[in-house]
Structure formats: structure tokens, C-alpha cells
Structure 1
Amino acid sequence: MIYLILSVLASSLIFIIFKLFSKYNVDTLQAIIINYIVACISGIIAYSQPIHITEISTQGWFYGAMVLGIIFIAVFNLMAITTQRNGLSVAAVATKMSLAIPIVFGVVVYNESTGLLKITGILIALIAVYLTSMKTGEGVSITKKNLIFPLLVFIGSGIIDTSLKYFETHFVAKDDVPIFSATIFGFAAIIGLFTLCYKRITGTLKIAAKNIIAGIGLGIPNYFSIYFLIQALRHEHMDSSTVFTINNVAILLVSTLAGILFFKEKLTLKNWIGIALAVLSILLVAFSI
């Protein structure tokens, strides 16, 4: 359980840092790419074994990590597009509602438990995600032309969580979690660096020290959010559907409360109902273990 709590705290810290980006006019793309580099380095440092590139490339999880790295940065860009075209609430709902994908995968593929208490908790969690994500004056309004973007965010986010569970179960040894995570972030960083090179060639790149500092600050909790999540998925008394439900809803809950405490955000009655339901859903799923 401690790994799940640490994953929630690390992931919530990411949202707080993102909130600071807008306050200090940080170039999000540059910070994200630096973040992937730092997260990759963090995994390499945490890995206790000698690193041999040729051996890593022969691991069963290597090509999966490569694809995940590409999906990581692709989903981030899709989230940015969704936010611009459909609003922040749509992006938030699409991201968090994606927990339905790994839950279904866990139940169908791994025959995970589906008791009444747990199913009720999961359904309440989905309602809580929607209500908590709706900010003042916002609603989920999606035009047909822009429907593809939140849909891709939903699918991409779900694929990331599902893949982490799959590779953790079948390919990643306990001692390989740091290097597995580092490889994912490493490939995301490579794609990001190509993007920066393109912007440099086209003359649209202006690197600032604050973007690098922001990326470093983001990279460390980002690494640990994945590391602790994978460790939580290894818990013998909690199946993946339980882990993903508690993780996603708790992150939304903690980040929302952080917004109230540190950024003086105002919540509507609908938001408070969502928070109450979020707490209830976590309790129901937790007690179904």
C-alpha cells in the first residue's frame, strides 16, 4: 500500500508543478522534454546493476518500452491539443476516465475479482472523476470535428496503464523496474529532442533557463510516479483494477485539494460532490480487497 500512496503523491506533485508552469510562463514543451531526460537519468542512477546497452536491447520488454516512450510524448501533445480545442475539463475527463481500459483488461485477461462492492466503487469513481473535473462555467462540449483528440487521449492513456501492467507481469524482473522505466523515458526524450532540433532548424526555438529548471523539477517526481505505480502493481493482495481505480481517483482528489490550498481555486457544488464520491469510491474499492 505504501507504494500506491507514494505513486499518488508523486503524480499529484506533477499536477502542482504543471500549475506553476502557467504562473511563471514556462515553455511546457521544453520543460517536458527536459523532464523525460531527467526521469531517464533518475532510473539509470536507481538501477543497481551494471548497464550494458546490448543486454538491455535483448530484454523482452525493450521494444515495448520503446513504443511506450513514443506513446508517452504523443499523449502529452494530444492532451495539449484537446485542452486548446475542447477545454481543460475535457482533457482531464478523457485522461482519468481511461482507467476503465486497464480495469476491463485486468478483469477479462487476468480474471480479477468483480465483487459488488468493487464494481460499485469503480462506477462511483468514474462519476467522481467527471464531477470533480468540471470547473466553473465549463462543461464537456465536444464538436464532431475535434472529437478525435479526446478520444485518442482516452485510448492512449488507457494503453499506457494497461501496458505497464502487462510488461510488469510478464517481462520486467523486480530488479529491472528502474531501467525499464528509464528506457521508457529515454525514448520519449529522444522523440522530444528531435522535436527541439526541428524547432531549432525552423528558428522557433528559444531555450530559457527557467524551462530547464522546471523540467528538472518535473522529471524526478515523474520518474517516481511510474516506478512506485509499477511496484504497487506487484502487490500480491491488490489486483490491477483496484490499484488503477484508487491511484487515478486519489490523484484527482489530492491534486484538487492542493489546488484549493495552494492556488486558492474555487470549487462548485458539483466539484464538492465529486470529491465526496471520490472518497467513497476509494473506501469501497479498498474494502473490497
Structure 2
Amino acid sequence: MLYFLLSVFFTVTLYLIMRAYPRYQVNSFHAVVFNYYSCVLTGLVLTPDLDAFSHVSWHSEGTLLTLALGSMFVTAFMLIGLSAQKVSVTAASLAGNMSLVIPVIFGLFVFKNNNKNFTAVNYAGLILALAALALGAIHKKEKTSTAQNGTTSPANWLLILPALTFLASGTNNTLINYLSVKYYLPGQTTVFMIIACIGAVIIGSTLLLYKLIFNGETIQVRGVVGGMILGIPNFLSLYFLLLALASFGNSAAYVFPIYNILTMLVSAFAAWLIYKEQLSKLNKLGLILAVVAIILISYQELGL
């Protein structure tokens, strides 16, 4: 249970750190790039046997696809940060956690690797999850649509950010599940994630170099520091989640629903406590529906 709680803690920390970037004038993209340098370093520190990398075939199909996964890492992370900053921490957390619907759908209809028969209750949970996501984003529109007389408020088009976060996070998780199962042994999960983060470093650094040369951007110390700080909870959130999975017999269908529920609720509470984010009635309803949706999706594993 300790691993479980630590995973939730570090995941929520991610949202809160990225939410603070505008206050400290941290360039989000720069921070995301350097965050993956920190992820790789953190992963290497936590790898019990670094000799495992000597057995990696860097030109194999699996390794190249894992490196390419880094582009999805960068995309998803940028969208999470933008959603947290431009909409709210709650909306970003809701979108990220409800994205479990996507790997579930792919597991059912594409990979056909589900280990249970989905019932009408499970499918109702999937539909309810989409409704919860919509309500989580709508609350901001409701709150800002009355802003007038030059009052600063996010434009309506920004409301698409949680939806894009939902799609990117879901795609990311689907690819992680697919590649890790197809190309890596169970004990190589940490190696797999470090290779994916190396891919994110390569892709992110290439894009950053382009911005520096052609857009005249400059790297500031606060961007580097912000990214290096972010990388630690980024890697640890997954690291402890994997340990939690192992402690519960690798029952992902049981662990992930509880993990997602706790993350959403703690994120909403922390955002209210630290950033004074006020939840509208629709936002609260979205959180409630999200909890109900996840329970419906996995009620069998939860023993209900």
C-alpha cells in the first residue's frame, strides 16, 4: 500500500509543479525537455543492475519503436502542462486519469488481450467516463464565459486542451502497454522506460535546438531547474506504480482504477488547497461521475 500511495503522491506532484510554472516564468517546453534528462538520471540511479543495458540491441525493432515512443511522451506531457496552466489542475488530472478508457478499448477490440468478459455495466462505465471528461472541461467555460470589460480569462478554444490531453495520454498508455508486452520481459520494465525517456530526450532536444537556432529562444536557468525538478516525480510516479502492481500480483485491472480515483481526488483537493482553484458544480459532478465510471469499468476486480 505504501508504493500505491507514493505513486499517487508523485503523480499529483507532477500536476502541481507544472501548474506553478507560469508563476515563476518557467518556459514549459524547455522544462519538459530537461525533465526527461532528469528522468533518465533518476532511472539509472534506481536500476539495480546497469549491466542490463549491455544486452540491449539498440538497432532492433523493439528498441527503435521504444525510442520513437519518446515523441508521444513529449506531446502528452506538454498537453498535460498546458491543461493544468490554462484550464485547471483538476481538468488536467481528470483528462489524464480518464484516458484509461483508450487502452481498455484497444485491449478489447484491437489487441483482444482482455482477461475478462466485458458486461453491459463495463460498457456503461466507458460511456460515463467520456461524460465525466466533458463535464470536467465545461466547468471552466461556464466560469469564464461571463468575463467582460477586459477581464483576463482563457479563450474558449483552450477548452479543447483537456480533450487532447485525454487522447494523448490514452495513446501513450496504449503504446506503453503494447510495446512493453511485445518486446520486453516482465523484469525489463525499468529498462524499457529508460529507453523511452532517452527517445524523449533525443526528440525534445532536437526540437529545442531548432527553437534556439531559428526562433531566437534562449535557455534560462529556471527552465533547466524546473525541468530537472519535474523529472524526479515524473519517473518516480511510474516507478512506484510498477512496484504497487508487483505487490498486488500485477493485477492492473485492480490497481489502475484505484490509482486513478485517488489521483483525481487528491489532485482536486491539492489544487484547491494550494492554488485556490474553485470547483464549479459541473466540475464536482464530473469528478463524481469519473469515480463511478472507473468503478463500473472494473467492478469485478474490485469485488463489487
Do they superpose with TM above 0.5?
yes
- Give the alignment partner of residue 160 of structure 1, picking from 166, 172, 178: 172
Q: How does 1:122-201 map to 2 (within 5 A)?
A: 122-133=126-137, 134-135=139-140, 136-137=143-144, 154-201=166-213
Separation in 2 of the partners of 1:152 and 1:262? 25
Task: Assess if the C-alpha contact under 8 Å between 2:69 and 2:196 holds in 1.
Answer: yes
Identity %, equivalent residues: 30
Q: Letter of the aligned partner of 1:10 in structure 2?
A: F
User: What SS is found at the alignment partner of 1:22?
Assistant: coil
Q: Letter of the aligned partner of 1:252 in structure 2?
A: M
State the 1:129 CA deviation: 2.9
State the 1:258 CA deviation: 1.0
Q: 2:21 aligns to what? A: 21
1:111 aligns with 2:102: no
1:89-108 Cα deviation digits (max 9, x unpaired): 7x847655533220112233
Separation in 2 of the partners of 1:243 and 1:228? 12
Pick closer, same or farther for the CA change 1:9–1:79 going to 2, 3 Å.
Answer: closer
Runs of 5+ in structure 2 lacking a partner? 146-153
State the 1:15 CA deviation: 0.3
State the 1:12 CA deviation: 1.3
User: What SS is found at the alignment partner of 2:274?
Assistant: helix
1:238 aligns with 2:237: no
Q: Letter of the aligned partner of 1:238 in structure 2?
A: S
Runs of 5+ in structure 1 lacking a partner? none
TM-score after normalising by structure 2: 0.76
State the 1:283 CA deviation: 4.5
Q: Letter of the aligned partner of 1:9 in structure 2?
A: F
Q: Which moved more, 1:120-129 or 1:16-25?
A: 120-129
Q: Letter of the aligned partner of 2:43 in structure 1?
A: G
Q: 1:272 aligns to what? A: 284
User: What SS is found at the alignment partner of 1:33?
Assistant: helix
1:42-75 Cα deviation digits (max 9, x unpaired): 1112111234755323577422311211221134
Pick closer, same or farther for the CA change 1:64–1:99 going to 2, 3 Å.
Answer: same
CA RMSD, Structure 1 to Structure 2 (Å): 3.6
Q: 2:10 aligns to what? A: 10
Task: Assess if the C-alpha contact under 8 Å between 1:16 and 1:259 holds in 2.
Answer: yes
State the 1:8 CA deviation: 2.8
Task: Assess if the C-alpha contact under 8 Å between 2:36 and 2:201 holds in 1.
Answer: yes
Task: Assess if the C-alpha contact under 8 Å between 1:38 and 1:216 holds in 2.
Answer: yes
Separation in 2 of the partners of 1:80 and 1:287? 31
Separation in 2 of the partners of 1:202 and 1:168? 36
Q: 1:260 aligns to what? A: 272
Separation in 2 of the partners of 1:46 and 1:167? 22
TM-score after normalising by structure 1: 0.79
Q: 1:251 aligns to what? A: 263
Task: Assess if the C-alpha contact under 8 Å between 2:125 and 2:296 holds in 1.
Answer: yes
